[in-house]
Amino acid sequence: MVFFEHHGVEKRESFHTSRLSNFTFPLHFHHAYELIIVNEGELYVTIDQKEYVLHKQDAAIVFNNQMHEFQTMTNSDISIAIFSPEIIGHFFLNYKGYIPENNVIHLDELPNLTKLDSIYRQKGFLYNLCGTLVENTTFIPVEHSTKTKVLHKILLYVDKHYHEECTLKVIAKQLQYDYAYLSKLFVQMTKMTFTEYLNHYRTSQACYLLKNSEHSISEIASLCGYTNLRSFNRNFRMITNDSPRSYREFHRDEGDVGIGDGHRFDSKP
């Protein structure tokens, strides 16, 4: 799955699902809607800087272009559906330009997303969730502040260039903004420095490749933007409390993708 802005526009009425254990993912946004359902455990979710703690049978409905991140606290089993606005076209048109004041609803029972094997079942399920959301919260106009737009541009740049030279100074030059301003803005809106975010993001990509590819560890380090294998190993261990080799060996036989242990970031699905 792809988590950033280009997802959800590759075709009309797209609907993609995953089931993940002990999963965490960094701040991101995309054109698609995202549904996060907690099957077991607990998940910490931030949507547009608003914080939620989700428990079993809680679901977060993230509107398109809302910035969000989530992390496992101790353990979690979650289902995720990423779907294009077109699949709920009537709802999307009615609430375009608005976002829910509360993105979280509680489900009467846990759905099996794999059984939504037709566009009709998918639409029926999603429209039912939209109805529940409308009944349980109010909607407020989207505020496209200058700071939010700038942060969007920074995150998109990282998504496209994390595998090469990717510094905030380079981004400032590309976006034609003052470096000091971007540095302060990034910390203010993400509660971490750009370098910390980049290291976590690159590690998330490395985790995915370690589990899902046959590339060597040195090749993965290079693919994730590291020119020095020692730096890659050091950052990977600092973030995951594990070495790349041990992570690969442990997760190769596992059905989940995730750093776990309460770390902020994890594998890109």
CATH number, domain at 101? 2.60.120.810
In tens, the pLDDT along 77-112 reads 999 999 999 999 999 999 998 999 999 999 999 999
Which residues are CB-contacts of 266 (< 8 A; sequence separation ≥ 6)?
Answer: 22, 23, 24, 25, 71, 72, 204, 207, 257, 258, 259, 260
Residue 166 domain flag: yes
Q: Are residues 128 and 152 in the same domain?
A: no
Residue 170 domain flag: yes
| 165, burial (CB in 10 Å: exposed 0-12, middle 13-18, buried 19+) | exposed
Residue 226 domain flag: yes
Which residues are CB-contacts of 140 (< 8 A; sequence separation ≥ 6)?
Answer: 98, 99, 100, 101
Residue 158: how many CB atoms within 10 A of its CB?
22
Residue 75 domain flag: yes
Residue 154 domain flag: yes
pLDDT tens sequence for the chain (269 residues):
334 434 433 446 789 998 888 888 888 888 899 999 999 999 999 998 899 999 999 999 999 889 899 998 889 999 999 999 999 999 999 999 899 999 999 999 999 999 999 999 999 999 999 999 999 999 999 877 788 889 989 998 998 999 999 999 999 999 999 999 999 999 988 888 999 999 988 998 898 899 889 999 999 999 999 999 999 999 999 988 889 999 898 877 554 444 333 333 333 33
Residue 144: how many CB atoms within 10 A of its CB?
11
Q: Are residues 229 and 160 in the same domain?
A: yes
Closest by CA to 142, choosing from 195, 204, 96, is 96
Q: Are residues 133 and 176 in the same domain?
A: no
pTM of whole model > 0.95? no
Pick from 116, 141, 166: which residue ends a domain?
A: 141
Q: What is the DSSP letter of 164?
A: S
Domain count, the chain: 2
Closest by CA to 110, choosing from 58, 60, 61, is 58
Q: What gap in Å lies between CA 269 and CA 158, rounded to an integer?
A: 17
Q: What φ, ψ does residue 201 adopt, rounded to 5°?
A: -65, -45
Q: Are residues 85 and 134 in the same domain?
A: yes
Name the token pair of 48: 């547009």
Residue 257 domain flag: no
Q: Are residues 136 and 160 in the same domain?
A: no
Q: Are residues 56 and 172 in the same domain?
A: no
Residue 4 domain flag: no
Task: Quote the domain boundaries for residue 109.
Answer: 15-141
Q: Are residues 150 and 137 in the same domain?
A: no
Domain harbouring 232, CATH code: 1.10.10.60
Q: Are residues 96 and 22 in the same domain?
A: yes
Q: Are residues 132 and 157 in the same domain?
A: no
Q: What φ, ψ does residue 41 adopt, rounded to 5°?
A: 85, -150
Residue 197 domain flag: yes
Adjacent-strand bridge partners of 207: none
Which residues are CB-contacts of 221 (< 8 A; sequence separation ≥ 6)?
Answer: 206, 229, 232, 233, 244
